[in-house]
Structure 1
């Protein structure tokens, strides 16, 4: 725990940033189509990534094989993943989407991790993950029941697909980070994801009254670009490489809890007793995972 304390704090901080964004983005959805807002979030982050990369590392390039790898990471981990998140919310209930987007994701990472890294499922990781998953279920379902009616099946399938694709996306970055920094991999992944997303926004630009945008809209957009994308992607990828993909992704369970707090602070939404109990269970599970003395390390850096 001591050796990786900074990484665990970073993972938790990123989860809080992403969770709070549910509240901030609600303001933006009154002005922007979801496709356009998502494109602006990632597209405006691209120059930030490459300027930072040039300043920190002196170069921005990748060899052809690594470029091809990041192209597919951008296609599946940014373009397709973000579209599935958006449309899963449209075609199912918010409770369904929240639970199916978040809860299975770390489980799939833990199951697939041995195929990509040296990570193995330990007893502490399994127990802590199970307790945290129960906690996140209480947090999400405390606001509304899980609906299994047939009219929501398409959205449920999309939300479940988010967890599978997201898990594979996280694991897909691990081999690249043996040779390249989290900043370099994030920059190229976001670039390709943004380019592939751009054609989907053509019908949305004319709907926005750009001259009428105020401080709220620009502040929300800046928060999404700088905090939710640039800082969050770099911090998450770097921390994930240090502590392992399986262990780090259980910290995603803090996202719904942060979203609930954001709803309470920004919109006066009620926090119910089951949600508080769920948050306590989730916190216990994450602390239990993080306190393992000898966590299994991911693949070492290549020489």
Structure 2
């Protein structure tokens, strides 16, 4: 029992790290091929395809569990929060601020998650966790500020605030979703939540301009959308939910610091984008922060 309890947080950490690293590839895929599509329409396609993939897996693996009536509203609201409002607000923020400033604002997610989880009694706020979160935030700042243009475009403060609001939505989701993941499993909960979010997005996304833009997309863009649906939605968010099922909200959220580092590295390799010479140092600070936030708490002394 003790060994199982020890392995579960490690499984959660590994799943969350893989989710965040793959998230960098989703950023690159989006920039690479689908710039001509409205962001909300892109999110509708991405999460709609992801919901289909996850639903098929649930049926194939026979792991479906009927959603209890008393949980419908909570799971619907969590799905709407994370799979509709979160990507919509994320896209809206980038209409005002730069990608680098947006990534830096989003890296407040672990700190906000720690505060939300502590306020709701889901985990204890400790000095070591706080130090880990601040280290990871410092690592992201070092990598981004040294390697990207952080100059503020006109009205950038609006985008920065919207991105912090996006991070707050993610923090609330991280703090509230874990009991439902324990009840329905990471796969089942993510499939239900993504289905609800995708239905909302598709209900608002498909005006005439979006339909025309989708019809004009080249085959490479559709290939990128398929990648975003299968990897960037179904796999990434299943892994994120698996992390939340087995580790604390802060232990999972802190791994989001790996996302911009992954995006920068892949952008340099695939798109010839500039990369910071301080990236290795920033990555080292992020890894140290993740280690601090996931360091096992000392066992209470026996009386």
TM-score, normalization: structure 1? 0.88
Partner SS state of residue 21, structure 1: helix
Provide, for residues 168-206 of structure 1, a one-character-per-residue CA deviation record: whole Å limited to 9, x for no partner: 012221121232211111111111111111132222012
Alpha-carbon offset, residue 159 of structure 1? 0.9
In structure 2, the residue matched to 1:283 is 287
Alpha-carbon offset, residue 33 of structure 1? 2.1
In structure 1, the residue matched to 2:37 is 32
Q: Distance in 1 between matches of 2:114 and 2:269?
A: 34
Q: Distance in 1 between matches of 2:267 and 2:131?
A: 30
Q: How many pairs are equivalent?
A: 292
Shift of the 209–179 alpha-carbon distance from structure 1 to 2, 3 Å rule, reads closer
In structure 2, the residue matched to 1:209 is 215
Aligned residue runs from structure 1 range 79-228, under 5 A: 79-101=84-106, 103-144=107-148, 146-147=150-151, 151-203=155-207, 204-209=210-215, 213-214=218-219, 216-228=220-232
**Equivalent residues of 2:21, 2:262 under 8 A apart:** yes
Correspondence for 1:13 among 3, 10, 18: 18
In structure 2, the residue matched to 1:293 is 296
Shift of the 156–266 alpha-carbon distance from structure 1 to 2, 3 Å rule, reads same
Q: Distance in 2 between matches of 1:274 and 1:259?
A: 15
Query: Runs in 1 of length 4+ with deviation above 3 angstroms?
Result: 57-60, 115-118, 144-150
Provide, for residues 190-230 of structure 1, a one-character-per-residue CA deviation record: whole Å limited to 9, x for no partner: 111111111322220122336x632x323322221111211
Alpha-carbon offset, residue 49 of structure 1? 1.5
Q: Distance in 2 between matches of 1:7 and 1:169?
A: 16
Computed over aligned residues only, the root mean square deviation of the Cα atoms, in angstroms, reads 2.2
In structure 1, the residue matched to 2:75 is 70
Gaps of 5+ in 2: none
Say which is worse superposed, 149-158 or 228-237, in terms of deviation: 149-158
Gaps of 5+ in 1: 297-303
Shift of the 58–13 alpha-carbon distance from structure 1 to 2, 3 Å rule, reads closer
In structure 2, the residue matched to 1:45 is 50
Q: Distance in 1 between matches of 2:151 and 2:161?
A: 13
Q: Distance in 2 between matches of 1:21 and 1:87?
A: 18
Alpha-carbon offset, residue 261 of structure 1? 0.4
TM-score, normalization: structure 2? 0.88
Provide, for residues 39-75 of structure 1, a one-character-per-residue CA deviation record: whole Å limited to 9, x for no partner: 1110112222222112334535201221111111122
Asked if residue 54 in structure 1 is aligned to residue 59 in structure 2, the reply is yes
Partner SS state of residue 175, structure 1: helix
Q: Distance in 2 between matches of 1:5 and 1:157?
A: 33
Q: Distance in 2 between matches of 1:59 and 1:242?
A: 20
Correspondence for 1:266 among 252, 264, 270: 270
